[in-house]
């Protein structure tokens, strides 16, 4: 078996950074260099304030940085030195051209692959870490093989990443499984074993799964589609609960107790966000369409349709409850990140909701413990378009440094992210109530607060998937 001694990771983002930092943390005998074309990002990885917030990440990075873990903009140098290269660049949804709005944009994967082909001076194992459509490894192979010689040979592996943000370090330290796909040739299997050897420094052997290349690529899209499907399913049920007096928490619990279903990923919410779910489902939809499987495409697409419906339904309910108008009313939004314990705002439900509030001429006060002010304005404004809305957004949106400031003189509070600090045993809701306009409304999009307790304080509470009279005749 080939032993890996030197790893290069192309792409120092939410995946490349934590994943390869954990490899360095667990494999002191391997030199790991994470490279990126973005010098600001690399400078941040080399500073005291890392570019992403992730519990436990600082410890891992500070422990190994400049020992066997390096961050650099010298992409070519790191490629040349490495015997195994992770391609961990972004694969966003295409904005223009064929497949726009659905297909994954593979330009960054292709450019990284071409760079490897161009500068490599020795044989390499090239690992697809980015999430890509099924059979992308074939295109990478074609590019690399066009540049291989008798002396230089490339093996391609698929090793999708399953970490979730907010728990990335725990997920990496004890993964449910590590998946490694390879061409089932003697060279492919040898490369697969070499990468398995890296993970086996800390992951039990029976959790390292080996499959063929295409199964590995498709499993990543499939896992995300199935996880998101569960959320859309419970969110669809939340609408039925609100109309019937059933309680979505009770329904999810009762269903989840069936060991065939399991309890995870059944939390109703204002809608899933994050950089992956929507993008990867649309990717699967596009793949199905390309394979001339329209019924399959429509099936998966409904997961995204339901998610959009849930967000719009929540906004409509807020407006209706606030006497059919929110014009000039102050709405306090608690949370802007797409989930707790991350500063990431990509595809956060908060963005859709707040844009709708702005459209309805409300004043919005936002507090999130980890999202930077500038990020919020960037997400809410359409800058660079025909009409630049930044000034208007700044006029209507105030960024606050705590929940009390956001809620002061507000007509309604909207809980959008499930940060622990918004729980009713952590936040002084009596103090918040005292500072609000009356009636003081609270809309919980995360099933986070104890609604009966807050109602006793005087709040008019509205919780997704529940009615005030749930359970009564
Ligand atoms: N974010 C997640 O939780 C997560 C989890 C699993 C899988 N993924 C997948 O992993 C991939 C990366 O996601 P991410 O969230 O880390 O993205 P990201 O945008 O945070 O990071 C990607 C980085 O790649 C760099 N880059 C792009 N092209 C480059 C090139 N040619 N050379 C060097 N650097 C280059 C960019 O500058 C950027 O810093 C995506 O395919 C995503 O779908 C993401
Ligand atoms: O029961 C639930 C669980 C999650 N969510 C929401 O769903 C979104 C995604 O959450 P989560 O999956 O925990 O975070 P991600 O970081 O997006 O991770 C997903 O996407 C990654 C990128 O592909 C995968 O690697 C992970 O396995 C997969 O969980 C967030 O808005 C959550 O609030 C719910 O609304 N209800």
Q: Inform me whether the pLDDT recorded for 393 exceeds 90.
A: yes
- Name the closest ligand to CA 41: 1
CATH code for residues 245-463: 3.40.50.720
Closest CA to 310 of 465, 468, 415: 465
CATH of domain 6-203: 3.40.50.720
State the average pLDDT over residues 406-431: 97
Query: What percent of the chain lies above the pLDDT cut of 90?
Result: 93
**How far apart, in Å, are the Cα atoms of 59 and each of 55, 62, 98, 325, 389?**
9, 5, 43, 48, 40
pLDDT (mean) for 142-168: 92
Tell me: pLDDT of 360 over 90.
yes
| Mean pLDDT confidence for 317-341 | 97
Of ligand 1's listed atoms, the one at least distance from the Cα of 91 is 41
pLDDT, position 196: 98
Burial level of 137, CB count in 10 A (0-12/13-18/19+)?
buried
Pairing of strands 330-334, 412-415: parallel
Which helix or strand (DSSP H or E) is residue 61 part of? helix 57-64
Contact 15, 54 (CB under 8 A): no
Q: What is the mean pLDDT of residues 402-412?
A: 98
Q: How many other CB atoms are found less than 10 A from the CB of residue 9?
A: 30
Rounded distance between C-alpha atoms, residue 332 and residue 86, angstroms: 42
Taking alpha carbons only, the member of 11, 221, 13 closest to residue 109 is 11
Calculate how far, in angstroms, residue 46's C-alpha sits from the geometric centre of ligand 2: 28
Q: For CA atoms 460, 465, 470, 473, give the dihedral sign.
A: positive
Q: Is pLDDT above 90 for 384?
A: no
420 is in an annotated binding site: no
**276 is known as an active-site residue:** yes
Average pLDDT over residues 274-280: 96
Sheet with 412-415, side-by-side order of all strands: 397-399, 363-367, 330-334, 412-415, 441-444, 460-463
**Active-site option among 8, 9, 241, 276:** 276
Atom of ligand 1 nearest to the CA of 130: 41
Preceding amide of 316 cis, omega within 30 = no
Query: Helices 136-145 & 107-119, crossing angle to 10 degrees?
Result: 30
Burial class (CB in 10 A: 0-12, 13-18, 19+), 100: exposed
Q: Is 90 in the pocket of ligand 1 (CB under 6 A)?
A: yes
User: In the structure, what pLDDT confidence band is assigned to residue 385 with cuts at 50, 70 and 90?
Assistant: low
The answer to whether residue 147 scores a pLDDT higher than 90 is no
What is the mean pLDDT of the segment spanning 169-178?
98
Angle, helices 277-290/294-321, rounded to nearest 10 degrees: 150
Report yes or no: 181 and 214 within 8 Å, Cβ to Cβ. Answer: yes
Largest pairwise CA distance in the chain = 79
> What distance in Å separates the CA atoms of residue 116 and residue 122, rounded to the nearest whole number?
10
d(CA 194, CA 197): 5
Domain locations in the chain? 6-203, 245-463
Q: Which atom of ligand 2 is nearest to the CA of 171?
A: 27
Residue 339 Cα, ligand 2 centroid: separation in angstroms?
A: 8
Tell me the pairing of strands 363-367 and 460-463.
Answer: unpaired
Residue with the two structure tokens 């099933």? 447
Residue 335, Cβ density class (10 Å: 0-12 exposed, 13-18 middle, ≥19 buried): buried
What mean pLDDT is predicted for residues 408-436? 97
- pLDDT band at 258; cut points 50, 70, 90: very high
Q: Do domains 6-203 and 245-463 have the same CATH topology?
A: yes
* CA-based torsion, 50, 166, 431, 433: positive or negative: positive
Quick one: pLDDT at residue 276? 96
Find out whether the beta carbon of 161 lies less than 6 Å from any atom of ligand 1.
Answer: yes
pLDDT 10s digits, 204-251: 999 999 999 999 999 999 999 999 999 999 999 999 999 999 999 999
Note the ligand closest to the C-alpha atom of 111. Answer: 1
Helix (H, G, I), strand (E, B) or coil at 109: helix
DSSP, collapsed to helix, strand or coil, labels residue 8 as: strand
Task: Quickly state the pLDDT bin for 2 (edges 50, 70, 90).
Answer: confident
Question: Annotation-wise, does 93 bind a ligand?
Answer: yes
Q: Quick check: CB of 91 below 6 Å from ligand 1?
A: yes
Ligand nearest to the CA of 16: 1
Ligand 2 proximity of 224 Cβ (cutoff 6 Å): yes
Q: What is the pLDDT of residues 64-104, one digit of tens each?
A: 999 999 999 999 999 999 999 999 999 999 999 999 998 99
Q: At what angle do helices 16-26 and 57-64 cross, to 10 degrees?
A: 60
470 or 167: whose pLDDT is higher?
A: 167
Separation between Cα atoms, residue 253 and residue 268, nearest integer Å = 11
Q: Is the CB of 236 under 6 A from ligand 2?
A: no
Confidence of residue 310 (pLDDT cuts 50, 70, 90): very high
| Cα 334 from Cα 406, distance rounded (Å) | 8
DSSP letters spanning 269-296: -S---SSSHHHHHHHHHHHHHHTT-HHH
Q: Is 408 annotated as a binding residue?
A: no
Phi and psi at residue 410, in whole multiples of 5°? Answer: -80, 155
SS3 call for 387: coil
Q: Which pLDDT tens digit goes with each residue over 341-356?
A: 999 999 999 999 999 9
* Candidate of 9, 15, 16 to mutate for ligand 1, largest count of ligand atoms within 8 Å of Cβ: 15
Mean pLDDT of the residues in the chain: 96
Q: Is 89 annotated as a binding residue?
A: yes
* Index of the ligand 1 atom closest to the CA of residue 275: 1
């Amino acid at each position: 078996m080939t032993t890996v001694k030197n790893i290069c990771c192309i792409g120092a983002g939410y995946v490349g950074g934590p994943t390869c930092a954990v490899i360095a943390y667990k494999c002191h005998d391997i030199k790991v260099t994470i490279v990126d074309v973005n010098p600001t990002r690399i400078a941040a990885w080399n500073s005291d304030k890392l570019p992403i917030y992730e519990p436990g990440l600082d410890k891992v990075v500070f422990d190994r940085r400049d020992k066997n873990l390096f961050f650099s903009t010298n992409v070519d140098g790191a490629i040349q030195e490495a015997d195994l290269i992770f391609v961990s660049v972004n694969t966003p949804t295409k904005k223009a051209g064929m497949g726009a709005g659905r297909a994954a944009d593979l330009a960054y994967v292709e450019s990284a692959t071409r760079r490897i082909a161009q500068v490599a001076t020795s044989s390499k194992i090239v690992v697809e870490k980015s999430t890509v459509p099924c059979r992308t490894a074939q295109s990478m192979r074609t590019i690399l093989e066009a540049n291989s010689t008798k002396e230089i040979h490339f093996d391609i592996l698929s090793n999708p990443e399953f970490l979730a943000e907010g728990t990335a370090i725990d997920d990496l330290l004890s993964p449910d499984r590590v998946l490694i796909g390879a061409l089932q040739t003697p060279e492919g299997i040898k490369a697969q074993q070499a990468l398995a050897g890296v993970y086996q420094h800390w992951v039990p052997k029976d959790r390292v799964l080996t499959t063929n290349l295409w199964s590995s690529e498709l499993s990543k899209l499939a896992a995300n589609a199935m996880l998101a499907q569960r959320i859309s399913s419970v969110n669809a049920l939340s609408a039925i609960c609100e109309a019937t007096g059933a309680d979505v928490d009770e329904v999810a619990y009762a269903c989840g107790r069936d060991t065939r279903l399991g309890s995870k990923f059944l939390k109703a919410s204002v809608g899933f966000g994050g950089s992956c779910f929507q993008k990867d489902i649309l990717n699967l939809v596009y793949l199905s369409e390309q394979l001339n499987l329209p019924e399959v495409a429509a099936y998966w697409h409904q997961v995204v349709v339901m998610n959009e419906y849930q967000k719009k339904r929540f906004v409509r309910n807020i407006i209706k409850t606030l006497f059919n108008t929110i014009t000039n009313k102050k709405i306090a939004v608690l949370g802007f990140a797409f989930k707790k314990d991350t500063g990431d705002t990509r595809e956060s439900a908060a963005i859709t909701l707040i844009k709708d509030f702005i459209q309805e001429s409300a004043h919005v006060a936002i507090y999130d413990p980890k999202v930077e002010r500038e990020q919020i304005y960037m997400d809410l404004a359409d800058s660079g378009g025909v009409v630049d809305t930044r000034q208007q957004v700044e006029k209507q949106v105030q960024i606050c440094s705590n929940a009390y400031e956001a809620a002061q003189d507000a007509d309604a509070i909207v809980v959008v992210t499930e940060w622990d600090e918004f729980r009713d045993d952590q936040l002084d809701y009596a103090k918040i109530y005292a500072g609000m306009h009356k009636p003081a409304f609270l809309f919980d999009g995360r099933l986070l607060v104890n609604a009966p307790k807050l109602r006793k304080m005087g709040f008019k509470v509205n919780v997704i998937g529940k009615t005030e009279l749930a359970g009564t005749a």
